[in-house]
Amino acid sequence: MPDLIKVAKFGGTSMADLTAMKRCASIVSSDPDKKVIVVSATSGTTNLLTELCTEESVETRVEIVSQIKEKHLAICKQFGNPKTLLDEVTALLSELEAIASRKQIMTKMLRDEILSFGERLSSRIFSEVLKVDSGDDIQWLDARTVIKTDNHYGSAEPDIDEIGKASSEILQPLLKDARVVTQGFIGSDSKGTTTTLGRGGSDYSAALFAEAVDADVLEIWTDVTAIYTTDPRIAPDARPITEISFDEAAELSVFGAKVLHPATVVPAIRKNIRVYVGSSIHPEKPGTWIVRDTKEKPVIRAISLRRRQTLVKVHSLDMLHRYGFLAKLFQVLGDHKISVDLVTTSEVSVALTLDSDINNPGQPMLGEEVLEELQKFSEVEIIKDLSLVALVGNNLNQTAGLSGPIFGSLLDVNIHLICHGASSYNLCFLVAEEDAENVVQVLHKQFIK
């Protein structure tokens, strides 16, 4: 039987320190089919780099770089400071320090360049750790030569054709005799400038690599043993899911389950690549398979929670018996590249939700300028600090008697908006941030058997 091709991705906690990296190395070494290894930055590093980008004072920026330096040099030291590795890591750290020390305007382009150092550092170190552990030929690849994207810095869109071409020219030849270690999260635009795919984007990178090399399996190794019926940090009685469909997994991640970047399943669906989610800490424990068709199709499979939601209510009496209001509203939002998640309308008002995660620069906030434009033809009310709770499963919009028990169990909770019907895979609603965890716990107890 010919070899399978597996792409394995290891997240931030899996790269946390030398012990964690060694655990990941042994997962790779024990399976010759794992040909492409995609890694995240060491845990906390992208957060530090993000902080650096928001910092005005050069002094503080340099102080942040020294924290990053300390962390990575400590791993190298523990690994015995092999000269070539130390040279590479020191050169990267000096480059980062030089950028951080310069007084310059923090553009989105520069921000992506700075964020890229996390993955560039971790992948250099992991590549050496894996070389020693496996004894195999391990090639380090700069992901920016393959993951070609547009120039929407902060949340760049991949160019699938260009990735395919670059993969045939650069990646595939390496795979003939070696395994490849590369970075998640980063890519480059047509001019070769560094881009990033958005926070948590390493899962997506791995899926793009899997698509490009026609992989049989994409493995996401993380700090939980599987995808759970809800975030185990919120509900201790959450259970691991054995098998889930691409569509359900997509909904779950779009609605906040951080375990998977929302776009991860898109390339997997295009090439029908099975995805496995497992724990790099306990690789022996059963994980989750994400597949096209599942044996079981429960109405409610899992519950997710997406924090930091903003509800925008746009009210206009002009809307009564008129047409064109919605078009006008969405034109303004579209012009400002504001992506709207959920929408409900009545005759004279529209309520919509926006993601307001400051860590996600791809999503602009509803700034003064947009607000002024909207206020020219409507009244705008903004409610912040909300969370979106989503029940994810199958045929939710065709199941009778569902909403009664759901909302019946939440009698004390103020529900700001409900979306039901558009998708057969979810039913979701907005609640105050402070109620959200309790709502998830109550619903999990009641509806997840």
How far apart are alpha carbons 237 and 253 in whole angstroms? Answer: 20
How far apart are alpha carbons 9 and 317 in whole angstroms? Answer: 52
175-214 binders of ligand ASP (CB under 6 A): 184-185, 199-202
Q: Which does 150 bind (CB under 5 to 8 A by kind): ligand ADP, Mg ion, ligand ASP, none?
A: none
167 lies in the binding site for ligand ASP (CB under 6 A): no
Closest contact distance (angstroms) between CB of 129 and ligand ASP is 18
256 lies in the binding site for Mg ion (CB under 5 A): no
CA 360, distance to chain mean position in Å, is: 10
117 lies in the binding site for ligand ASP (CB under 6 A): no
Q: Which does 447 bind (CB under 5 to 8 A by kind): Mg ion, ligand ADP, ligand ASP, none?
A: none
Closer CB to ligand ADP, residue 259 or residue 410? 259
Closest contact distance (angstroms) between CB of 391 and ligand ADP is 12
Q: Which amino acid is at 220?
A: I
Q: Are 442 and 389 in contact (CB under 8 A)?
A: no
* 202 token code pair: 């390493």
Closest contact distance (angstroms) between CB of 280 and ligand ADP is 8
How far apart are alpha carbons 390 and 414 in whole angstroms? Answer: 15
Q: Which does 228 bind (CB under 5 to 8 A by kind): ligand ADP, ligand ASP, Mg ion, none?
A: ligand ADP
Closer CB to ligand ADP, residue 227 or residue 388? 227
9-68 binders of Mg ion (CB under 5 A): 11
Closer CB to Mg ion, residue 102 or residue 282? 282
Contacts for 74 with CB less than 8 Å, ≥ 6 apart: 17
Q: Which does 233 bind (CB under 5 to 8 A by kind): ligand ASP, Mg ion, ligand ADP, none?
A: ligand ADP
Q: Which residues bind ligand ADP (CB under 6 A)?
A: 11-14, 40, 200, 222-224, 227-228, 230-233, 257-259, 302
Closer CB to ligand ASP, residue 11 or residue 393? 11
118 lies in the binding site for ligand ASP (CB under 6 A): yes
- DSSP letter, residue 342: -
Q: How far is CA 91 from CA 85, 94, 196, 206, 423, in A?
A: 10, 5, 21, 26, 50
Closer CB to ligand ASP, residue 46 or residue 353? 46
Closest contact distance (angstroms) between CB of 201 and ligand ASP is 5
Closer CB to Mg ion, residue 215 or residue 220? 220
DSSP 200-258: TTHHHHHHHHHHHTT-SEEEEEESSSS-BSS-TTT-TT--B-SEEEHHHHHHHHHTT-T
182-241 binders of Mg ion (CB under 5 A): 200
How far apart are alpha carbons 176 and 47 in whole angstroms? Answer: 36
- The residue at minimum Cβ distance from ligand ADP is 11
Closest contact distance (angstroms) between CB of 28 and ligand ADP is 15
35-64 binders of ligand ASP (CB under 6 A): 40-41, 46
How far apart are alpha carbons 388 and 418 in whole angstroms? Answer: 10
Q: Which residue has the tokens 């992989």?
A: 215
- DSSP letter, residue 14: G
Closest contact distance (angstroms) between CB of 44 and ligand ASP is 9
How far apart are alpha carbons 138 and 21 in whole angstroms? Answer: 15
Q: Are strands 274-279 and 243-245 parallel, antiparallel or unpaired?
A: unpaired
- φ and ψ at residue 5, rounded to 5 degrees: -110, 120
Q: Which does 46 bind (CB under 5 to 8 A by kind): ligand ADP, Mg ion, ligand ASP, none?
A: ligand ASP
CA 163, distance to chain mean position in Å, is: 19
Closest contact distance (angstroms) between CB of 125 and ligand ASP is 14
Closer CB to ligand ADP, residue 227 or residue 410? 227
* 154 token code pair: 């902060």
Q: Which amino acid is at 260?
A: L
Interface residues with Mg ion (CB under 5 A)?
Answer: 11, 200
Interface residues with ligand ASP (CB under 6 A)?
Answer: 11-12, 40-41, 46, 118, 184-185, 199-202
